[in-house]
Amino acid sequence: MPPAVPSRIRITEVGPRDGLQNERQTVPTADKIAFINALSLSGVPEIEVSSFVSARQVPQLGDASEVFAGLTRARGVVYSALVPNLKGLEGALACRVEKIAVFTAASETFNRRNINATIAESIDRFAPVLSRAKAHAIAVRAYISCAVACPYEGPIQPSAVADVAQRLLDLGVDEIDLGETIGVAAPTDIDRLYEAVSAVVEPSRTTLHLHDTRGTALACLLRAIEIGVTSFDASSGGLGGCPFAPGASGNLATEDVVYCLNRMGMETGIDLRRIIGAGEIIQRAIGRPLPGRVFRAESPNR
């Protein structure tokens, strides 16, 4: 007997943020807006639009305010953004962002390189961000990068991830998002991760953010579903990477997730044709083929 599967899985489309942040050539703001507008019509419930971070650190996303101002918000879609500190929150509030994501890591070295803070300092920085966000009824996701491994420190203990999750939950975040930043995990790593993390938060209150560097992300997603996780991040066409994680490639491709889950009888609400259409817009803008396998197999313009 195959294991029972949930009927519905929630996907957050992170292509416009995690996907684009690593692109060297500046993608015109109008192309980003066209991409997000097409994603908005695909049935995806949440889109991570951009980041309110230092434009010196992540030049590609320096137009976050313009992107928010230009996009057409579809009913029922949550538009979110990354926010590292109060200055980022100010930018997000000015753009009427409905949900923010603060971000830290389970690795000190990665966190220092990414946001120039220790883990403890970053969590201290989030406290006033959380209180202001709550005062504006803005939902808060909290990413923990390097949930399985760090590009600088190697394997990360699941207990270290659980410890950071507990500190973030104590601050009052709404959602824990576990980042498999460099795409090394196999399903057994997901078992070990959730064995520790389940002690502090129900798997169903977490989101899993998988990068597909070694082609193992879909296998990890399926294992996480068996554990009780029902929320995942994915990026259109497998766009992506992290400028502070050398060698990390794109997120798990949204089309690969939608295709596989649909065939297994699970619904995401996402129309495969439309999400492929959105990917074609950004593929044209970046001027090179996107790596997503279902995207490449099913795109009429491949």
DSSP 209: E
> Is the Cβ of residue 33 or residue 58 nearer to ligand HMG in the bound state?
58
Residue reference for tokens 């949204």: 254
CB 209 to ligand HMG: min, Å: 5
150 among known catalytic residues: no
Residue reference for tokens 């690969």: 256
CB 259 to Mg ion: min, Å: 21
Instruction: Judge whether 182 and 248 are in contact, CB under 8 Å.
Output: yes
Residue whose Cβ sits closest to ligand HMG: 179
Could you list the beta-strand ranges (E) of the chain. 10-13, 46-51, 78-82, 99-105, 139-145, 149-150, 154-155, 175-180, 206-210, 231-234
- Judged by CB under 6 A, the residue of 19, 43, 84, 203 near ligand HMG is 84
Instruction: Judge whether 50 and 74 are in contact, CB under 8 Å.
Output: no
Rounded CA-CA distance 176/153 in Å is 22
CB 238 to Mg ion: min, Å: 12
Residue ranges in 40-59 that form contacts with ligand HMG under rule CB under 6 A: 51-54, 57-58
Residue reference for tokens 């995207």: 295
CB 196 to Mg ion: min, Å: 21
**179 part of the interface to ligand HMG, by CB under 6 A:** yes
Q: What amino acid occupies position 267? A: E
- Judged by CB under 6 A, the residue of 109, 116, 131, 157 near ligand HMG is 116
Q: Which one of ligand HMG, Mg ion, none interacts with residue 103, CB within 5 to 8 A by kind?
A: ligand HMG
Contacts with Mg ion by CB under 5 A lie at 18
Instruction: Judge whether 82 and 142 are in contact, CB under 8 Å.
Output: no
> Is the Cβ of residue 20 or residue 133 nearer to Mg ion in the bound state?
20
Instruction: Judge whether 270 and 228 are in contact, CB under 8 Å.
Output: no
CB 75 to Mg ion: min, Å: 28
Helix axes 187-197, 217-227, angle to 10 degrees: 40
**232 part of the interface to ligand HMG, by CB under 6 A:** no
Q: Which residues are catalytic?
A: 242
Residues in the site for ligand HMG, rule: CB under 6 A?
18, 21, 51-54, 57-58, 82, 84-85, 87-88, 103, 114-116, 143, 145, 179, 181, 209, 211, 242, 244
